[in-house]
Amino acid sequence: MKSWHITKHGSLEELKLDENAPLPIITDPLDILVEVKASSINPIDVAMLGGYGSNIIGLLKTLESFPVTPKVKFPLTLGRDFSGKIVDAGKSVNLEKLKIGTEVWGSVRSTYQGAQSQYIVVPSTDISLKPESLTHVEAASIPYVACTTWVAASTFGRLEPNWFLDKKVLVLGGSGGVGTFAIQLFKSWGAEITTTVNKDFLEKASELGATNIVDYTQPDCQFLLSSYGSYDFVLDTIRRNDFKNVLCLLKPDLSSKYVTLLTPVLPNTDKYGITLGLAKCKLDLACFVFEGLKFGTKVGWAIYAPNGDALDEVAKLIENKKIKPVIETVYSFDQLPLAMKKVSLKHNRGKTVLDYDL
């Protein structure tokens, strides 16, 4: 099979295409083997190419494989999102739901080899049945951003979908992969959405369901955001350095929440090692929570985690036409370096996807 991998962290030049890579083997009874039809590129893939999060991921691999030999660090295949079909399953997989040949979508946890390969092994708990109304290319654009947004709201925000009804929600960074999905998800839950985007994405943000749209390049951006009233929930996909200016936009009571996707956990452990890095994270979190309390609001960090149950719910919303994929560019499997380069330049307007059949 074909598979992209790296043998060390570095730049795009480290990406190598193996035309005769061995087929991955199922070793866990709850794992499945998937033939990948499409995958998408996320900023985390570019960051992991450069070594981002390698200390924490290495620790998780060791803990996950204990007491047997830890999973190897290299060669490493990147890629979190995928859509494809099941070709084999472990003996404990629920074959009534996940039959051989079934089309599925999902996101790959960081301790497994990624989706930039023609075949992958993933835990059956991390996947879901692909929405029938979507192509593989469309489906591959959603799982990572869906799980990230879901985790931010439900796990770290500790909020249920019905909480969002008639709430004012601010999505900072509404034109990227997470932002475009979050606008639609929170809108489907009944929230009034305000978002920040560049001027070339104003019309698209409105189409996705945002009621109030602010061009973040304008000098009066802060004033405009405050003019729409106090917010119940803020999802920060970009982590502004002046996040205190965001906290003052929230309702000054402990029912309001600010959740950021850019946390210091991986940078701290990359820089200081596991022990000192996690100790610094505790200090950073304490300071972060204290800042929130000074403004009378709750704050939190959110970290991506695969979630097959969340994808089940997202699939229902897609079939009910509440959520649609937002794709900017499609590349062939062999064009992975070009796709990674595009995402590395940032300022994306939707997702960049690899079509394995091109």
Task: Give DSSP secondary structure letters for 29-77.
Answer: TTEEEEEEEEEEE-HHHHHHHTTTTHHHHHHHHHHHHTTSPPPPSSSB-
Share of the chain above pLDDT 90, in %: 80
Q: What is the pLDDT confidence band of residue 67, given thresholds at 50, 70 and 90?
A: low
pLDDT at 155 over 80: no
Least confident range from 72-76, 101-105, 205-209: namely 72-76
181 Cβ contact partners less than 8 Å away, ≥ 6 residues apart: 142, 145, 146, 149, 323, 326
Phi and psi torsions of 115, nearest 5°: -90, 0
- pLDDT, residue 70, reads 53
- pLDDT, residue 66, reads 58
Domains of the chain: 3-142+325-355 (3.90.180.10), 145-301 (3.40.50.720)
Q: What is the pLDDT confidence band of residue 58, given thresholds at 50, 70 and 90?
A: confident
pLDDT at 63 over 80: no
Mean pLDDT of 14-35: 96
The C-alpha atoms of residue 112 and residue 123 are separated, in whole angstroms, by 9
Q: What is the pLDDT confidence band of residue 145, given thresholds at 50, 70 and 90?
A: very high
The C-alpha atoms of residue 40 and residue 336 are separated, in whole angstroms, by 10
State the CB neighbour count (10 A cutoff) for residue 129.
Answer: 15
What digits encode the pLDDT tens for the residues 207-260?
A: 999 999 999 988 888 899 999 989 999 999 986 667 788 999 999 988 899 999
Q: What is the pLDDT confidence band of residue 69, given thresholds at 50, 70 and 90?
A: low
Q: What is the pLDDT confidence band of residue 72, given thresholds at 50, 70 and 90?
A: low
What digits encode the pLDDT tens for the residues 157-189?
A: 778 899 999 999 999 999 999 999 999 999 999
**Is 182 exposed, middle or buried (CB count within 10 Å of its CB: 0-12, 13-18, 19+)?**
buried
- pLDDT, residue 158, reads 78
pTM for this prediction = 0.94
Q: 231: closest CA among 212, 196, 257? A: 257
Could you tell me how far CA 268 lies from the centroid of its own chain? Answer: 20
